[in-house]
Chains A and B, each alone.
Chain A
Amino acid sequence: MARSGKKLGAWGAVLPLLGYCAVALGLPVWALIWEGIQAPDANGVNHFTFSNFTTSWHGVYLTGMLSSLRLSLLTAVISAVVGLVAAYAIAQSRGRLLKQAVLTASGVLANFGGIPLAFCFVATIGTGGVFLSWLNDAWPSFQLGTFDGLVVVYPYFLVPLMVLTTLPALDGLRRQWREAATNLGGSAWQYWRYVGGPLLLPAALGGFVLCFGASFAAYATARALSSGTVPLVTTQIASVLSGNVLATETNLGMALALNTIIVCGLMMAVYLPLRKRSAKWLES
């Protein structure tokens, strides 16, 4: 009796959070679906159609989607590799000061984006930036407001995200495991191949997926740097909706937004099973 009462109380504590997420996430998504499958006809009366989705996967919008995917994939690979190496270097160092400084800086920098970030890079390697001539010596065609520019800038908030997500797992790798492997005659390569690697893989892949998602979702930074010259899904959504020319355009914007949510859903579908696996060993 008391036990079931306790369970009930526990559910009572969790339900507000779940309900909040269901409403605050569910209603907007439902709105996107509902408006995305409608389009006004010549008389301005809405009816159901898939035409928005057909449009959203053709022409400029397909280009935008593909270039978004390419940008996210490229920056996520770079940031995941760099972030993992950085997190390993930090996990190995014993100074608490350094670890705390890096962890807190990562928390702040992972949220750093948009106009302020654009300011920093414009001042560095933008037109008239302090280091532009140096960079152009090595990379003559480089310009900040292009696809390449975004590839240089995005790791600024993705690497900290990667460090934040993988550092706990790297901290969980016990020194004793390494010592045990060494004592049994294993080489460093064998340790990483059979012990460390498999343990880290889920966390590393999970971090990669998060980087991909965050890169795909970024809008303010891309807009501030390229002012729309690089076709990306997120900037296209905003320009379709702020153009406020035709009512059909609004519904198209909804369909585009829904597409990004579908991509995000696929990401989570990859990420969640991985997360389950990594938690098992590292928490025991």
Chain B
Amino acid sequence: MTTLTETEPEAAPVRKTAPGARRLDLRRVRWWRGGVLGLLALYFVVPLAACFWFTVYDSRTHQFSLSPYGQIFGAQGFTTSVWFTVKVALLTIVIEYLLLIPAMIAVQLWLPRLRPVLESLAMVPLVLSPVALVVGVNTVLGWGTNQDPGTPLFQLSVDLRDPNTPWILPIVYVLIAMPFAYRSLDASMRTVDLRTLVEASRGLGASWPLTVWRAVLPNLRTGLLSGAILTLALVFGEYTISSILQFQPFSVWIVEDSQGAQSGQLAPAVSLLSLLLSWAVLFLVSFLGGRRAVVGTDRSSA
């Protein structure tokens, strides 16, 4: 009802003939929206705040201290597990983009009929239970290790589970992270005119790799960055798969540390910090890089 006045500021003077009713209406709408968002914010912020309270307040001595946050970097096993997780996350991101970027460009330019296939493929991992997936993966690896030692299959499944660089984790994570990476890339691809970009670059004599590297990717950097950060956040939080496959990345280390009961406040502090950090980075990236994206959506709706 109020959209007319809201969308067109120029129309405001005309409305001044009957300001009372209009303004009342507006206020009602704003109040409704504020109420909904406020309640939701409460639901989402209160647990985080309570968690923060728990990490800084010692109920036995009734003292506040930020020391858990100071202890994080010195904690036993912290650097090992973080380094392990970062390595896995980087491998995941690289494999993910090597697979997704060429496929998505090709579908956008020449194979639009395949778009639904790609979209549904990117949805499957959201409903696929990680437990079921990892049980299957474990079985497949078990088949390999049941072979005679020395055969290529045996060697392959041993290499995949190598404790230093466990290739099996990035391989599975690429699947799990696909919905988020696909969505970010797709969103930023919609805001650039890929065809014109590619035709201009090719017309000026650039080779295909050069076109992708110098013309396409810089225009997708927002999507690339946010996809990468979402993947990073996912890998840092993923527990089911790595614990069942018996690796010890960051998420598993947090749990075992908290069960050690030596520093019960440390683990929540670490997880809280990693959550806020990944959100802050993601927000900054999308905010600083998203200007063009917003112009794009405005144009389409005008």
Contact = CB atoms under 8 A, between A and B. Distances in A.
Interface string A181-205: 0100000100000000000000000
A10 B6 CA distance: 45
B172 A24 contact: yes
Interface residues of B, number: 90
B279 A131 contact: no
Decide if the interface of chain B is mainly helix, strand, loop or mixed.
helix
A186 B33 CA distance: 23
A32 to B, nearest CB: 5
B286 A104 contact: yes
Decide if the interface of chain A is mainly helix, strand, loop or mixed.
helix
A260 B251 CA distance: 25
B127 A182 contact: no
A16 B105 CA distance: 13
A124 B120 CA distance: 37
A43 interface: no
Interface in A148-178: 155-156, 159, 161, 164, 168, 171, 174-175, 178
A182 B116 CA distance: 35
B136 A113 contact: no
B258 to A, nearest CB: 8
Contacts of B66: none
A105 B277 CA distance: 11
B237 interface: yes
A11 B118 CA distance: 13
Contacts of A89: 32-33, 36-37
Interface in A234-260: 234, 237-238, 241-242, 253-254, 257-258, 260
B102 A261 contact: no
Interface string A119-133: 111011000011100
Contacts of A261: 128-129, 132
B1 interface: yes
Contacts of A116: 237, 251, 254, 268, 271-272, 274-275
Contacts of A24: 171-172, 174-175
Interface residues of A, number: 96
A108 interface: yes
B111 A11 contact: yes
Contacts of B54: 119, 123, 130
A130 B51 CA distance: 9
Given A100-B283, A257-B129, A220 B51 contact: no
Interface string B99-133: 11011011101110010111111011011111111
A177 B279 CA distance: 35
Interface in A57-109: 82, 85-86, 89-90, 92-94, 96-97, 100-101, 103-105, 107-109
B79 interface: no
B234 interface: yes
A237 B124 contact: no
Contacts of B156: none
Top 9 A-B residue pairs of the complex, sorted by shortest distance between their CB atoms:
A28-B136, A213-B127, A116-B271, A217-B129, A13-B106, A120-B47, A13-B102, A257-B132, A124-B50
Interface of A: 6-7, 9-11, 13-14, 16-18, 20-21, 24-25, 27-32, 35, 82, 85-86, 89-90, 92-94, 96-97, 100-101, 103-105, 107-116, 119-121, 123-124, 129-131, 155-156, 159, 161, 164, 168, 171, 174-175, 178-179, 182, 188, 209-210, 212-214, 216-217, 219-220, 233-234, 237-238, 241-242, 253-254, 257-258, 260-261, 264, 267-268, 271-272, 275-276, 279
